[in-house]
Structure formats: C-alpha cells, structure tokens
Amino acid sequence: MRQALELHRHAQEKTLTRFFSPEHDKHMVKLQPGDVYVSANDELIATGLGSCIAACIWDPESQVGGMNHFMLPLKCEEAESAWTAEPYLSHAARYGNYAMEILINSLLQQGAVKSRLRVKLFGGGNIMRQNIAIGRKNIDFVRQYVTNEQLLLVSEDLGQVFPRQVLFDPRTGKAWVKKIQSLSQQLVAEESQYNQRLLRESYEDGTDEQDVELF
C-alpha cells in the first residue's frame, strides 16, 4: 500500500489530526485551514468549512485522491469593494494557486494522471459578516482555476450562509456534506485568525444542521 502523503501550506511536514470513526468504521484525517492531504489508503478525509474552500480531487483509475483547505487572504476593504479579476488574481489568489498546485502535484506523484482527475468543490459560505465577500471571492477563484486547468468538475456545494462538514473518500471520490444550521463561533474564529496570518505573511513578503448529502 502506498504511503499517504501529507503536506501543508509551506510544504513542510506537519502532524495532522488522526482518529478512528466507529460510525464509518474507518480511520479519518482532519484538515485545518492551510492543510493538504493525499492518500491511496482506505480512510476518510474530513474538514469543517466556513468561508474557506475544500477541493476534493481524485483519479478513479489509480484510486488516489486528496483534499485541500484554503482561503484567499483579503483585507476588509478588499472584501467589501467591487472585485476585478486581474489585480485580484495577481495578489490574493496566489495562495489558492499554491494550494491547488500542491494538491494536484501530490496526486501526480502518487500515480494519478491529470487527464483522469475528477473534482468536487465545497465551502465558500458567507459566515463572516465583517468580510461577507470572502466566500464569494473564494468561489470565483476556484471555479476559474478548474476552468483554466481544464479539470473535470463533477459536483459542487458552494456559497449560501452556513458552515459545512465535509467527508471525502480519496479512493472512490465519494463525498458527504453536512450543512450546519447553527453558526460555529469556533470555526469563524479559526478562519479569521487564518486570514490574519496570511495577511501578515503577505505583508512580510512585501505584497499587499441538516441531513448529510452525498456528492
């Protein structure tokens, strides 16, 4: 069995949360904002999403798949202003590009073939009132990325006003989504802190409850 490949935003080794789920009778790996995980093992990948995006990508023939969890860093004034693609993609979207490229390159290293890759997209909810446009702009970015890379988008569950819990089977491509009716303050705090960290890094670099659904 091929060893699962773990990466995070800076392509450094990071210990991800692992646990056994009696409900699913499988081991699970939980991703936080900035994480990427690729595996060909019989396990599930889980994450919680607010404004962030999770791209679930897999090769059905080689049965290897993975998930990332990312957000584009935006200041409040950027989130509230009208968006034009050119300056936006040249600034904030480089973080999304990195997250997508790490995931796809890791899949190819594990034996996937790009022409066979299948994509499912989740997240981008408008859950942070002070940055209401962040979710929408994350969605705009990831849809454009999939189109530009000529990847096959199988399904998506994006936008709206609530957070999500996502489970993904990297070998089969099956994904389960649970929409959370009550706003998770912990999730909002985690994403706000993550966004602020990305903004700090950008500055330092010198640059500006419902039923589960099967996808």
pLDDT digits (tens, 9 = 90+) for 105-148: 999 999 999 999 999 999 998 876 555 578 888 999 999 999 99
Positive or negative, the CA dihedral 39, 100, 186, 190 is: positive
How many distinct structural domains can be found in the chain?
Answer: 1
State the Cα–Cα distance between residues 55 and 36, nearest whole angstrom. 10
Strand order in the sheet with 164-168: 17-21, 26-31, 44-49, 164-168, 175-179, 213-214
Say what the pLDDT of residue 134 is: 83
pLDDT digits (tens, 9 = 90+) for 53-110: 999 999 999 999 999 999 887 655 555 454 444 444 445 567 788 899 999 999 999 9
CATH of the domain at 40: 3.30.1330.200
Containing structural domain, residue 178: 5-214
Say what the pLDDT of residue 21 is: 84
Percentage of the chain beyond pLDDT 70 is 66
The length of the chain is 215
If phi > 0 it is left, if psi is from -120 to 50 it is alpha, else beta; for residue 166 that is beta
